[in-house]
Amino acid sequence: MSRIKIIGTGSYLPEKILTNLDLEKIVDTTDEWISTRTGIKERRITDENTAVSDLMTEASKKAIEMANIPLSEIDGIIAGTITPDMMFPATACIIQKNLGIKNKFAFDLSAGCSGFIYALEVANNFIKSGNYKNLLVIGGETLTKITNWSDRNTCVLFGDGAGAVVVTESSDDSGVLSSMIGAAGEYGDLLYQPAGGSRMPASKETIEKNLHTVVMQGSEVFQHAVRSMQSAGEEVIKAAGITSDDIDIFIPHQANIRILQSTAKRLKIPIEKVYINIDKYANTSAGTLPIALDQAVRSNEIKKGDIILFDVFGAGLTWGAAIVRW
């Protein structure tokens, strides 16, 4: 077995829409600023009763249905998220219970927005080891639950949503042709959630100071994003033995339209080949790639044999990319 392939995709987005006009009433911002600086028009948000496992469970059901394999043949679950239902048990274990999968491994993986590609890379190597055949790989977030709604620098950027895929051994020429993941922990303080872990446990003071929400140096993250997405993209293109011209669809992390445009230009991929849904869903972190993939598959924008480039960066800082032949 030389590679793995994706045999099912699914996604789930909460119904409630928060538009830029709604945000104008919450912070000192405008639809015009958000649209031109980020490409975002609206985003989906969960209600108080919904957690990330609920979104991930629904996305997983759709992916498993498309894969058309019995639950008993799913050998394990890997969930990429930085907004788990709780610190423990793992959100993947909650999803396992929700789906009714028994006696298989389930764990979470924290890699910021790169969570899905990290999880796919782990699944890739687990399956290649010969110990597992079919794995459920999920990426999703409820970032609006850790958003500081008084910080206009961050609160306009995020949305909630989840996507999932079922991966298995490939017996033909389709599948993951190349992949990579990377990290630069020295830049961790550019994008982080200060409180709630063992460094700064929850207290009255952390809550009063809003320290359980996202803190970000936006323009520094922007510069790292473009550089790391370019180098990750170039690396997997080269490793797959193809050129930019061979790419049929580019699915980048949906963080900011200007990051997508800049990365596509640096990788010499025409903007018409870039899958963009940031206008509707904003940045769903680990959810962006599997949600975009599922939407592109279900709307027949991806055909058998197409070459897909995935490319992402996130908190950590982390990054990752993959070339997939559909």
Distance CA(81)–CA(102), nearest Å, equals 22
The correct pick among 84, 112, 163, 290 for binding ligand ACO (CB under 6 A) is: 112
Does residue 219 interact with ligand ACO by CB under 6 A? yes
Q: Find all residues with CB under 8 Å of 41, minimum gap 6, and list them.
A: 19, 20, 31, 34, 35, 279, 280
What is the x/- site pattern for ligand ACO, positions 54-93, by CB under 6 A?
Answer: ----------------------------------------
Of 39 and 76, CB closest to ligand ACO: 39
Does residue 221 interact with ligand ACO by CB under 6 A? yes
The correct pick among 64, 66, 113, 309 for binding ligand ACO (CB under 6 A) is: 113
Give Cα separations from 37 to 27, 152, 158, 254, 312 (angstroms): 16, 13, 14, 13, 19
Distance CA(136)–CA(6), nearest Å, equals 10
Does residue 315 interact with ligand ACO by CB under 6 A? yes
Of 146 and 239, CB closest to ligand ACO: 146
The correct pick among 156, 165, 236, 291 for binding ligand ACO (CB under 6 A) is: 156
Q: Supply the minimum distance, in Å, between the C-beta of residue 30 and ligand ACO.
A: 6
The correct pick among 17, 24, 31, 37 for binding ligand ACO (CB under 6 A) is: 37
Positions annotated as catalytic residues are: 113, 253, 283
What is the x/- site pattern for ligand ACO, positions 263-302, by CB under 6 A?
Answer: --------------------x-x-----------------
Q: Find all residues with CB under 8 Å of 40, minimum gap 6, and list them.
A: 20, 34, 156, 157, 257, 278, 279, 282, 283
Does residue 255 interact with ligand ACO by CB under 6 A? yes
Which positions touch ligand ACO (CB under 6 A)? 29, 33-34, 37-38, 112-113, 152-153, 156, 191, 216, 218-219, 221-222, 225, 255-256, 283, 285, 314-315
